[in-house]
Amino acid sequence: MKVKISAKVIAAYSTRQDGNMSLCYGDTSKARPDRKKFLGDLGIDHSKLVGAQQTHSKNVAYITEADLGKGALTYDSAIPDTDAFITDKPGIPLAVLTADCLSVFLYDPVKNAIAVVHAGWRGTQKGIAVAAVEGMRNKFNSEPSDLIAYFGPCIRSCCFEVEADFKKYFPDKVIERNKRLFLDIPAVNNEQLTQSGVKQGNISDCGFCTVCQNDRFFSFRKEQDKAGRLISVIMLL
Ligand SMILES: [Zn+2]
């Protein structure tokens, strides 16, 4: 699914119908050809893709031409211990892989810079989206108020049941329904971004829940170890 952020950016996330995009989780047997097809249709050379060995950290990596292709064809070559990428270089496709976790796309139309973020609850608790904004501010002099943000598919408060200790981590974003507790991960990220200076009006959300719409998206909660991963990719033109 293409994400409309700007004519100067290619941004998209895949669906289940595009295949499993992970090189290490779920059935990986067709991941390379499926990546080639999905990315190729977007005008992206799959062999240039930059991917991460994601660890639910708050680590942000600045990506340049020297990193092209890291994580494109093998998981071992992906950038280690990283959950967000930033760049101001055109032609570098940055990707995160998710199954329930939130992907966040960021674009600075003034400094012409981008980011993509993998934000599950652990990364969200650590403030990974805020770290990406800080990274763009430090590296590109981005003004948070200029940034355009977009949220991809993830598990949402309809389905993300959590234990009571989550109230400690996310005091006002755990919702009680029928004596069960649910976490609203996009709402936490939305609040974190607006508190960093991103304008509410510049944040869009696809709104899809990976569990409710498991026929269209992979969900770790629903499928456990069998779950594939969808890819969220962004590239400056
Ligand atoms: Zn749901």
For 85-119, what is each residue's pLDDT tens digit? Answer: 999 999 999 999 999 999 999 999 999 999 999 99
Q: How far apart are the CA of 216 and the centre of ligand 1, in A?
A: 12
Q: Which of 134, 132, 136 is closest to 119 using CA atoms?
A: 132
- Ion ligand 1 — residues with CB under 5 Å? 158-159, 209, 211-212
The low-confidence residues of the chain, meaning pLDDT below 50, are none
Q: How far apart are the CA of 160 and the centre of ligand 1, in A?
A: 7
- State how far the alpha carbon of 25 is from the alpha carbons of 10, 37, 73, 99, 171, in Å: 25, 19, 14, 10, 32
Q: How far apart are the CA of 17 and the centre of ligand 1, in A?
A: 19
pLDDT at 233: 98
Q: Which of 142, 44, 129 is closest to 93 using CA atoms?
A: 44
Residue 191 lies in a domain: no
pLDDT at 96: 98
Q: How far apart are the CA of 214 and the centre of ligand 1, in A?
A: 9
Locate tokens 């680590």: which residue? 59
Range of the domain at 91: 9-156+200-236
Rg (CA), the chain: 17
Residue 212 lies in a domain: yes
For residue 91, the SS3 value is coil
Q: How far apart are the CA of 8 and the centre of ligand 1, in A?
A: 32
Q: How far apart are the CA of 80 and the centre of ligand 1, in A?
A: 31
At a CB cut-off of 8 Å and minimum separation 6, what does 41 contact? none
At a CB cut-off of 8 Å and minimum separation 6, what does 201 contact? none
DSSP code, position 179? T
For residue 72, the SS3 value is coil
pLDDT at 51: 98
Give how many domains the chain has, as a whole number. Answer: 1
- State how far the alpha carbon of 121 is from the alpha carbons of 88, 101, 125, 145, 195, in Å: 27, 7, 6, 25, 18
Residue 187 lies in a domain: no
pLDDT at 119: 98
Using CA atoms, how far apart are residues 150 and 106, in angstroms rounded to an integer?
7
DSSP code, position 54? -
pLDDT at 138: 98
Residue 173 lies in a domain: no
Residue 133 lies in a domain: yes
pLDDT at 95: 98
Using CA atoms, how far apart are residues 48 and 32, in angstroms rounded to an integer?
13
Residue 171 lies in a domain: no
Q: How far apart are the CA of 232 and the centre of ligand 1, in A?
A: 19
Tokens of 170: 């996310």
Q: How far apart are the CA of 157 and the centre of ligand 1, in A?
A: 7
Q: How far apart are the CA of 127 and the centre of ligand 1, in A?
A: 23
Angle, alpha carbons 89-15-84 (nearest 5°): 35
Domain of 143, CATH number, reads 3.60.140.10
Residue 46 lies in a domain: yes
Q: How far apart are the CA of 184 and the centre of ligand 1, in A?
A: 10
pLDDT at 116: 99
Residue 227 lies in a domain: yes
Q: How far apart are the CA of 26 and the centre of ligand 1, in A?
A: 21
pLDDT at 226: 96
Locate tokens 């969220």: which residue? 232
